[in-house]
Amino acid sequence: MENQFPIQQLLSPQGVWISDHHKELLTKERTLDFFKHMLRIRTFDRKAISLQRQGRIGTYAPFEGQEASQVGSALALSKADWLFPTYRDHGATMTFGHSLRNILLFWNGRNEGNIPPEGMNIFPPGIPIATQIPHAAGAAFAEKRKGTNNAAIAYFGDGATSEGDFHEGLNFASIFKAPVVFFNQNNQFAISVPISKQMNTKTIAQKGLAYDIPSVRIDGNDVFAVYQYVSEALRRARSGEGPTLIEAVTWRYGAHTTADDPTKYRDQNNSLKVREEIDPLLRVERCMKINDWHDENWVRQMTEEVVQEVDQAVGEMEQFPQPDPSVIFDYVYKEPTLPLVKQKQQLLNLIGGKEHDNLD
């Protein structure tokens, strides 16, 4: 199966264009844009980890190493498309246009963090594994029924492909030719379990065969390849040809979350080696130098700009009052039930709230 689904690559880790196709993608403007977006989300990611270690946000899911997958895929979308992220895809949502402040509010336990900018179709991050996949298939099918040209993209990790929701979503989308791209970021580990121990198939792309869905396996650290193959999948979706399954083979450098210790299940020296060899930002930087597009002053300016943007978002997030944990009871039902009212009052009592009258 690995022979049937070879990893597609356009730009080598050394920054050299190695494909005989799609050379029109390699322009200075696009290359610098890719680099800036990846620098931006990496800066955010590192800042968020620092904030968590300082106790300024809650548990956080880092994505460093997966920047090419998230930036390349998000930039291929149209503004009216639907984006269904996991808890690790805030790099993609940032690139698509989500508010940095609201993303930080989400990681600080506030419901406001789930609100995208006006007019943008960004679903709240899927915390349970794979639940967003059927949602994406359904939203795409709804767009098809409405006669629009909009598509959806569902992000998920390798572990999600062992969940029933993955198979249900692909089956539904296949039957109804829903305009959806199933975008798998295979970062080699389902939490602490290596892919070899959580599935027997050699690739994730081959799982599309069962549903007669076109599938492709790409280098998830090659932002050009990600952009190109997601763009092709979106064109198929918009033309009525139905869904596509993309396996982007990548690597997450750090922990599953900040509550995790990756040294217990993975050799971190190998992760350092991977960083030196296939890092997505380093690859584009090498490309810039080869083509004489690299400017130290420009890189420095971009770095200063994204640091300032992230710091501003942190400041805005920290101006919000501390989250009220009692709101977890407010959105279970349209009208609160008596048990929920009582449970909320008990919590308010614990945190110093006042008792409600006539609970009985």
- Cβ atoms within 10 Å of 3's Cβ, excluding its own: 7
Q: Which of 77, 71, 88, 76 has its CA nearest to residue 35?
A: 71
pLDDT tens figures, 289-343: 999 999 999 999 999 999 999 999 999 999 998 778 888 898 889 998 999 999 9
Q: Is the pLDDT of residue 24 over 50?
A: yes
Banded pLDDT at 142 (limits 50, 70, 90): very high
Phi (first) and psi of residue 130, to 5 degrees = 80, 0
What pLDDT score was predicted for residue 354?
Answer: 52
How many whole angstroms separate alpha carbon 209 and alpha carbon 244? 11
Q: Is the pLDDT of residue 353 over 90?
A: no
**How large a percentage of the chain has pLDDT more than 90?**
82
What pLDDT score was predicted for residue 53?
Answer: 97
Residues 214/1, Cβ–Cβ less than 8 Å? no
Q: Which of 252, 244, 263 has its CA nearest to residue 204?
A: 244
CA quadruple 146, 91, 102, 30: dihedral sign: negative
How many whole angstroms separate alpha carbon 208 and alpha carbon 182? 10
Q: Quote the DSSP letter at residue 206.
A: G
Q: Quote the DSSP letter at residue 212.
A: T
Q: Is the pLDDT of residue 357 over 80?
A: no
Query: What is the Cα 36 distance to its own chain's centre?
Result: 17
Report, as an integer, the average pLDDT of 101-112: 93
Query: How high is the mean pLDDT of the chain?
Result: 94
Phi (first) and psi of residue 227, to 5 degrees = -60, -45
Report, as an integer, the average pLDDT of 40-69: 97
How many whole angstroms separate alpha carbon 316 and alpha carbon 346? 31
Tokens at 249, concatenated: 């083979």
Domains in the chain, CATH or no CATH each = 7-319 (3.40.50.970), 325-360 (no CATH)
Residues 166/129, Cβ–Cβ less than 8 Å? no
Compute the half-sphere exposure of residue 221: CA atoms within 13 Å on the CB side of its CA: 23
**Angle, vertex CA 278, rays to CA 275 and CA 280, nearest 5:** 90
Report, as an integer, the average pLDDT of 42-52: 98
Tokens at 256, concatenated: 């599953």
Q: What residues are annotated to the active site? A: 252, 256, 265
Where do the H-state alpha helices sit in 147-179?
164-176
**How large a percentage of the chain has pLDDT more than 70?**
98
Q: Quote the DSSP letter at residue 177.
A: T
How many whole angstroms separate alpha carbon 235 and alpha carbon 63? 27
